[in-house]
Amino acid sequence: MYMHLGNNCVIPTRNVIAILNMEDLSEDVKDIIEVARLDKKLTNISDKGKEKALVVCSDQVYLSPISSLTLYRRAGNPFKEV
């Protein structure tokens, strides 16, 4: 399956590691965002200041304008055991 993250960005759900709410991020997660930015593995697909969710994938980190709950529902529970 694929998940639409907003602004015409679609990713395979099998690559999703975590979907996090941007308002509830700890300092450790903010450090992960900074490391991803420095490694050029951060893709911001939302307008500046409109980021609602952080989607961590196996090869990339995305900042999405769509809420984490909506993304989770769209993915159809990507974290269940296969």
Residue 82 reports pLDDT greater than 80: no
Write down the pTM of the prediction.
Answer: 0.86
Look up residue 61 and give its two tokens.
Answer: 């980190």
pLDDT digits (tens, 9 = 90+) for 51-61: 999 999 999 99
CB 20 within 8 A of CB 54: yes
Write down the pLDDT at residue 79: 58
Look up residue 72 and give its two tokens.
Answer: 């989770």
The b/e string for 31-53 (b: 16+ C-beta within 10 A; e otherwise) is ebbeebeeeeebbbbbeeeebbb
- Nearest CA among 43, 53, 48 for reference residue 75: 53
